[in-house]
Structure 1
Amino acid sequence: MSIAVVCGTNWGDEGKGRMVDYLAREADAVVRYQGGNNAGHTVVNEFGSFALHLIPSGIFNSHVTCVLGPGTVIDLEALNVEIENLEAAGIDCGNIKISDRATILFPFYRDEDAWEEERLGDRAYGSTKNGIAPAYGDRHAKKAMRVGELLYPDSFRAQLKHIVDWKNLVASGVFKRESGVSYDRMVNWAMTYGEHVKHRICDTTALLEDMAAAGKRILFEAQLGALRDVYYGIYPYTTSSCALAAFAPVGGGLFNHPVDRVVGVMKAFSTCVGEGPFLTEMSSEEASSLRETAMEYGATTGRPRGIGHFDAVASRFGTQVQGATEIALTKLDSLSGLANLKICTHYDYRGEHLTRFPLNPVLEEASPIYETCEGWTEDITDCRKFDELPVAAQAYVLRIEALIACRIRFVSVGPERSQLIDRGPV
């Protein structure tokens, strides 16, 4: 038996999907343990290029059981569309299982999300407006519904009535909306889309416990990254769930079986989509060129990502809070052709050099302190061993490794499964 977690160490969009797809070849189950369809994992393999939103990135391995854990929030409509798109591409979706304890994300959560961003105006959080925050908010306010309740339609309808009544009070009282939530429409929506996934709903904890007892290999998959985590990220410009590896047993629903390894994923440069402080952001000219080379656009929203120099302060913090045992460094190939590369080693805050990632009031005033590394001009996309990389590229990777104090095991030199250098364990 082996249990591993793949998680992000930065602001999200680090390339977790490509790593899960790679590692899932030797897994028996891949489990999403938090988040919803507010972000995407881009996967490129022999089947094509895919942007996944809810479905675990192990879906391209037909032997893998793909689990949406109790810590996720599930838009039933979006899930149905995603399954249909994958099946149309010839991908077998028969092994998708949904926790009966996961939260249903209703359409009224999308409306509430958009209304709140509009109300906030210049102080908006940069939400994708997919309803994630209000769905998690209602779960903790004990006003949500769980996926398993679809299996009990009479109880489901009665409970939904109470929730719709509450939502109409919020719509009229807080957001001053004249048209509220239609109970009949919500029932029809849930029953229509729920009917297509009812056969996938089960006690996934029992499923995973049986797999673990049988010595199976289980891989947990996170969404977003440590700096968007609701507890340790750049709050309130975060997601609304815990994106940390420590949450995997809770959000994934597997207990009494310790995690063996945590693969933290980070890019060879910094990217950030959404609002909040981002200290190492490049000039628009520098960023534009690298954004096009690396195709840095959100997989869910299509929004251009902010581009920055590698931030060792943020990355070291993300590595620590994730408890990473090893690192996968992605998109090193995107830096080929740059004469010089900058690494932020410290933050300057009122004359003090900071090595620990601080709270937002400090981030909003601090400035980055850089050191410069030599770049390289060679195309590295065909390199499969670390010593095949240009000397300057090796030095850049090793300098990052030293600054974040964690072994960089994997180095990605392209989006394909094969374009990955495995340096092996320590």
Structure 2
Amino acid sequence: MASQIIVLSGPVVAGKSTLAAALQRRWGVHRLKTQDLLRELTGAEHDRAALQQAGERLDRETGGTWVADGLTRRLRTLDDGVRVLVDSVRLVAQVEAIRRAYGQRVTHVHLTAPEADLATRYAARDTPMHELGSYAEVRADPTEAAVENLAHVADVVIDTHRSTPDDVVVRVATRLGLYGRSYERLVDVLVGGEYGSEGKGQIAAYLAPEYDVLVRVGGPNAGHKVYEEPEVMTFHHLPSGTTRNAAAQIVLGPGAVLRVPKLLAEIARAEVDYRRLAIDPQAMVISEEDVAEETRLTAAIGSTGSGVGAATARKVLREIAPRPVTLAKDTPELRPYLRETLGVLDDAFAAGRRVFLEGTQGTGLSLHHGAYPHVTSRDTTVGGCLGEAGIAPSRVRRTLMVCRTYPIRVQSPEGQTSGPMSRELPWEEIAARSGIPLEELRAAERTSTTNKQRRISEFDWVLLRQAASLNGPTDIALTFVDYLTVANREARRFDQLTPETIRFIEEVERVTSAAVSLIATRFHFRSIIDRRAW
């Protein structure tokens, strides 16, 4: 049985066919044309006058029930739960017959416009149907002349005067509930709470199977590692859960910055079908010149030199940029993946699908909130990530902030600094405290994008509080608890962690006013202690 039956009415050229086609294309509404029914039942020609006469004859013979009968026959061939649109009805009796058969599932939409406006549209229309000579001849038909009477019995009446066809679609779709009836909180957001490399990929991949849509922001200057066998996967563009949840839709929003060769290689390696991935046409594309331009930043502040900052600066400068701006829509290799991601997300929200937004880098590297100039080229907080993805804050259900037990930054360039850290430590000290061999630590702590050795420091409680204030987390994911002691690697439950680790976690919860809901004990499949209550 159909979940919703939409019945269209209105005068000729009020916009019914255009609206019906848009609803069919965007929301997959099944369209039943009464013109097709007439031709099946009467053999009428593709001619307006002949169709009008055939319809009037059927109305007299059936009392207007022929449309409802044709709808019933069509529904027997369709899957349950489909939305069906009847395009269109011309008599109150036709609508009443459909209502008697299908009750509250029926929504009657009537389009109208001033007659002078309709006459202008009729004169300008281009249609394969053999039309009458003027709009006055169309309205001379008794049924057509009385069609505005249906406005009195319609559930929705839309005056299309001064509205574009797209305006009409939005107005009608909203009344039909196709965008959803409210801003349901369906989005969970993950961000870094320190200087990046907090282990966000491991957490994101663990959570990914719980979601229908995976969204990632940022660019290739951030690599998220995911434990896979036989080898670890590093995602620079795609969400970290791309392979863990092969059924999820993948979205790269308008704020994404793309290195096309690297993105295409990543798509191929993860075996992502083009129908699964949506890239917004307004995402920025990095050029070779952008990468070359950032060489000086690599030497000065420890930038990854990926070209993200230079590309972002060009996008901000728009037409006064030194080189033309290339967006995803200008890139032939990306055409199979191009979709307006706002529409993709709107459809997901309307269907009640759960969305996971994966941020990159960390709050301490935020362009606006970090220790400038030792920052990245974007705002890495929850607010910045939502803006890049095109998701309203009112959609957010949970905010997860990932922090590691010892923050890290990239190794400083010769004679320079990659940015301040509180109480920097040598790796030998971490090895002595944790019991993890120094060689293992040095091998593991190299950056995902540039393969540089990382710097490490004592846990920064001031940074934690600042990050909590900026992001308002509902949950904390604490990673690298094996760096407190290697004994934590054997823990599979919270109570198996060492007493010192538990006290540390309790202090994190007090400072952030958020629960430490996920705890990573090592880099392995079975590495997450899950304490969530959601």
TM-score, normalising length: structure 1: 0.73
Instruction: Give the secondary structure class of the aligned counterpart of 2:529.
Output: strand
Match of 2:528 in 1: 420
Match of 1:113 in 2: 294
Match of 2:250 in 1: 66
Could you tell me how far 1:201 is from its partner in structure 2?
Answer: 1.1
Question: What CA deviation, in whole Å up to 9, does each residue of 1:55-74 have, x standing for no partner?
Answer: 11121111111111111111
C-alpha separation in 2, matches of 1:403 and 1:256: 24
Which shifted more, 21-30 or 280-289?
Answer: 280-289
C-alpha separation in 2, matches of 1:131 and 1:148: 16
Letter in 1 for 2:488: I
2:319 matched to 1:136? no
Match of 1:277 in 2: 420
Cα distance change, pair 256–411 in 1 and its aligned pair in 2 (3 A)? closer
Match of 2:478 in 1: 329
Could you tell me how far 1:85 is from its partner in structure 2?
Answer: 3.0
Question: What CA deviation, in whole Å up to 9, does each residue of 1:250-277 have, x standing for no partner?
Answer: 2112347521110000001121115011
Which shifted more, 129-138 or 94-103?
Answer: 94-103
Which shifted more, 247-256 or 58-67?
Answer: 247-256
2:296 matched to 1:86? no
Letter in 2 for 1:126: G
Instruction: Work out which of the residue numbers 201, 204, 215 in structure 2 matches 1:17.
Output: 201
User: What are the within-5 Å matches in structure 2 for residues 391-402 of structure 1?
Assistant: 391-402=499-510
Contact 1:70 1:102 in 2 (8 A): yes
Could you tell me how far 1:399 is from its partner in structure 2?
Answer: 2.4
Match of 1:125 in 2: 301
Could you tell me how far 1:196 is from its partner in structure 2?
Answer: 3.5
Cα distance change, pair 416–308 in 1 and its aligned pair in 2 (3 A)? same
Length, aligned pairs only: 333
List gaps (5 residues or longer) in structure 2.
1-183, 412-417
User: What are the within-5 Å matches in structure 2 for residues 63-212 of structure 1?
Assistant: 63-87=247-271, 95-114=276-295, 116-117=296-297, 124-142=300-318, 143=321, 145-150=325-330, 194-212=331-349
Contact 2:408 2:456 in 1 (8 A): yes
Match of 1:55 in 2: 238
Which shifted more, 104-113 or 290-299?
Answer: 290-299
Could you tell me how far 1:148 is from its partner in structure 2?
Answer: 4.2
Could you tell me how far 1:310 is from its partner in structure 2?
Answer: 1.0
Instruction: Give the secondary structure class of the aligned counterpart of 2:190.
Output: strand
C-alpha separation in 1, matches of 2:389 and 2:512: 28
Instruction: Work out which of the residue numbers 269, 274, 286 in structure 1 matches 2:429.
Output: 286
C-alpha separation in 1, matches of 2:348 and 2:305: 36
List gaps (5 residues or longer) in structure 1.
151-193, 338-378
Match of 2:84 in 1: none
Instruction: Report sequence identity in percent.
Output: 29
C-alpha separation in 2, matches of 1:62 and 1:218: 14
Structure 1 or 2, whichever has the larger Rg, is: 2
Instruction: Work out which of the residue numbers 396, 399, 403 in structure 2 matches 1:266.
Output: 403
Letter in 2 for 1:128: T
Cα distance change, pair 395–257 in 1 and its aligned pair in 2 (3 A)? closer
2:365 matched to 1:228? yes
Contact 1:280 1:308 in 2 (8 A): yes
Instruction: Give the secondary structure class of the aligned counterpart of 1:392.
Output: helix
Contact 2:400 2:476 in 1 (8 A): yes
Task: Name the structure where strand makes up a greater proportion of residues.
Answer: 1
Q: Which has the higher contact order (CA 8 A, sep 6+)?
A: 1
Cα distance change, pair 292–239 in 1 and its aligned pair in 2 (3 A)? farther
Task: Name the structure where helix makes up a greater proportion of residues.
Answer: 2
2:452 matched to 1:303? yes
C-alpha separation in 2, matches of 1:238 and 1:332: 26
User: What are the within-5 Å matches in structure 2 for residues 238-253 of structure 1?
Assistant: 238-253=375-390
Instruction: Give the secondary structure class of the aligned counterpart of 2:422.
Output: coil
Could you tell me how far 1:224 is from its partner in structure 2?
Answer: 0.2
C-alpha separation in 2, matches of 1:257 and 1:403: 25
C-alpha separation in 1, matches of 2:353 and 2:456: 40
Could you tell me how far 1:404 is from its partner in structure 2?
Answer: 3.5
Q: CA RMSD in A?
A: 2.2
C-alpha separation in 2, matches of 1:6 and 1:100: 24
Match of 2:492 in 1: 384
Contact 2:274 2:337 in 1 (8 A): no
C-alpha separation in 2, matches of 1:49 and 1:402: 34
TM-score, normalising length: structure 2: 0.59
Contact 1:287 1:306 in 2 (8 A): no
Contact 2:196 2:361 in 1 (8 A): yes
C-alpha separation in 2, matches of 1:284 and 1:387: 28
Cα distance change, pair 329–284 in 1 and its aligned pair in 2 (3 A)? closer
C-alpha separation in 1, matches of 2:309 and 2:391: 25
Contact 2:188 2:397 in 1 (8 A): yes
Cα distance change, pair 139–196 in 1 and its aligned pair in 2 (3 A)? closer
